Amino acid sequence: MHYSPEYIEINGSKFELKYSYDYLQSIVEKIADRINEDYKDKEILFIVVLKGAVQFAVDLLKHISCECSVEFITASSYLEAMKSQGKVKIGNLTCDVKDKNVIIIEDILESGRTLQAICRMLNLMHPRSLEIATLFFKPDNLLVDIKAKYIGIEIPSDFIVGYGLDYAQKGRQYANVYQLCK
């Protein structure tokens, strides 16, 4: 049983339940099914973007049936709790991606700047293929030309927390996703 309040408060801001854990799991399974179909007889290197994508990645990987390995990378573009600064910091990647089928696992595709910077870096390493799997996509917030092949849910610009997503590093632990109250 997951802790599932209707409302939560983080740093003085109130959030209401938006997506339940069970609903998120159904979306994660659909993404995994698509990946399994696309990579039926291939091996995948999943690169998980820390910290937000961890919960999504763990649940997604439980449903992956093809050969795979997992690596982690740090990336951040937030200066303030709810606003991106536009500059992206990427941590070191300790694996070789040359000639590998790479799927980046990200929690949310918003401005696209972070994923664009990660893709630029990875493309310099010559992967066989490079795709993005994201649980959430905010098309209205996209500022750069980047596309995710595997998208769970398209959502409006509302600020959300939970299931790995944070507000000033808090709120990641919730199994559900909560939306900032208006």
Please write the tens of the pLDDT for every residue from 61-85. 999 999 999 999 988 765 555 555 5
Considering only CA atoms, which of 111, 133, 148 is closest in space to residue 27? 133
8 Å CB contact between 175 and 162: yes
Percent of the chain with pLDDT over 70: 91
Condensed to tens digits (0 to 9), the pLDDT of residues 18-34 reads 999 999 999 999 999 99
Both tokens assigned to 53:
């994508």
CATH number, residue 65: 3.40.50.2020
29 catalytic? Reply is no
Overall number of domains in the chain: 1
8 Å CB contact between 175 and 4: yes
Residue 136 pLDDT:
98
Which domain, by its residues, includes 32?
A: 20-168
Residue 1 pLDDT:
61
Specify if 182 maps to a domain: no
Specify if 136 maps to a domain: yes
- Split at pLDDT 50, 70, 90, the class of 182 is confident
Residues making up the chain, counted from first to last: 182
Q: Helix count (H) and strand count (E) of the chain?
A: 3, 10
Q: Is this prediction's pTM over 0.85?
A: yes
Specify if 73 maps to a domain: yes
Specify if 30 maps to a domain: yes
Specify if 7 maps to a domain: no
Q: Is the pLDDT of residue 2 over 90?
A: no
Specify if 3 maps to a domain: no
Specify if 12 maps to a domain: no
Phi-psi region of 3 (alpha: psi -120 to 50; beta: other; left: phi over 0): beta
Strand, coil or helix: what is 140? helix
Measure CA 8 to chain center: 22
Q: Which of 67, 110, 131, 154 is catalytic?
A: 110
Residue 93's contacts (CB-CB under 8 Å, 6 or more residues apart) are 47, 71, 73, 121, 122
- Split at pLDDT 50, 70, 90, the class of 12 is very high
DSSP string, 23-84: HHHHHHHHHHHHHHHHTTTS-EEEEEEETTTHHHHHHHHTT--S-EEEEEEEEEEESSSS-E
Cβ burial of 92 (10 Å; 0-12, 13-18, 19+) is: exposed
Residue 140 pLDDT:
95
